[in-house]
Amino acid sequence: MEPLQKIPIDKIDDPYLAMRSEMDGLDMDELKASLRINGLIEPIVVRRLGERYEIIAGHRRTRAARLLGWAVIDCIVREATDDETLILRLAENSDRSDVNVVDEAVFLGEIILRGKMTPEQLAEKMHRSFAWVKTRLEIFDMPDYLQNYIRLDRISIGAAHWITKLQPESKRLYYANYASMHGSTALAAKLWYDMSQANYMIDNERIEVVKSDDGQVISVRAKTECAKCGFLDFIDDMEHVPIHKDDVFCMNKGMEQDA
């Protein structure tokens, strides 16, 4: 067991690759209150980098201590390479329920991009299935707006999986905004994808984007013809009918019914 050391907080740097993107808010207020009343129950873990230190574990506790104006903080100094530091950081956060899945995805994606580990190695180090890691890496590759909707619990991971497959970008943006405003199950999003593969639903020249004065997208709506009356109208005001992707299949089935 490494000895406990009191290290000046102004000599401690945040992790170069952190797991959490947001640390302020009610949770931070509660942590500050706990530190003020109880002190630091569990020391943070750092590694020495020249004359300074980098946080390995305890990023939130260190931030709370800084906000409280602490001059020093209890630390365990550990010798660790870059790869070992990432693994220790993963171990600290991987089982915490309060870590957002998007933060998790971005952290794992950055590790892959930096060439530190393969997805298979990550799964082994984290004691997770390869499918679990693959899902996070898929989230990492999603557009920022889809990641944000997942972070805010406005779109499920399952629905986002199918929405991110939509092409072109205007169609993906339309359905992402629609799902965030009206909700969508993974099954419904898959239906959108299947119908888009059949070149059904949206004519890309008929997409209406409404923006605020500062350029923020307020809503995205698209028009198509009603299959019954042929009138052009907004697609989210219509019922949607699933159709076989293969026209030959439909034609053959139709011939069987006529026979």
pLDDT attached to residue 86: 78
- Domains, the chain, in order of start with CATH, read 1-81 (3.90.1530.10), 161-258 (no CATH)
Give 7's Cβ-side CA count (13 Å radius): 24
What does the pLDDT look like over 23-34, one tens digit per residue? 556 678 888 999
What does the pLDDT look like over 127-172, one tens digit per residue? 788 998 999 999 999 999 999 999 989 999 999 999 999 988 888 9
- Which of 46-55, 105-114, 141-150, 249-258 is least confident? 249-258
pLDDT bracket for residue 249 (50, 70, 90): low
Is residue 259 predicted with pLDDT exceeding 50? no
- Which of 88-92, 106-110, 167-171 is least confident? 88-92
Sign of CA dihedral 153, 157, 162, 165: positive
Please report, for the chain, how many H helices and E strands are present, in that order: 11, 8
35-54: average pLDDT: 91
Are the CB atoms for 38 and 7 separated by under 8 Å?
no
Measure the CA–CA gap between 19 and 107, rounded to whole angstroms.
6
What does the pLDDT look like over 174-220, one tens digit per residue? 899 989 988 888 888 888 887 777 554 455 556 777 777 877 766 66
> The whole model's pTM is what?
0.60
Q: How far apart are the first and last CA of the chain?
A: 82
pLDDT attached to residue 258: 45
| Angle, helix 101-113 to helix 82-93, in steps of 10 degrees | 160
- Which of 36-40, 188-192, 248-252 is least confident? 248-252
Residues sharing a CB contact under 8 Å with residue 177, sequence separation 6 or more, in sequence order: 217, 219, 220
Residues sharing a CB contact under 8 Å with residue 178, sequence separation 6 or more, in sequence order: 184, 220, 236
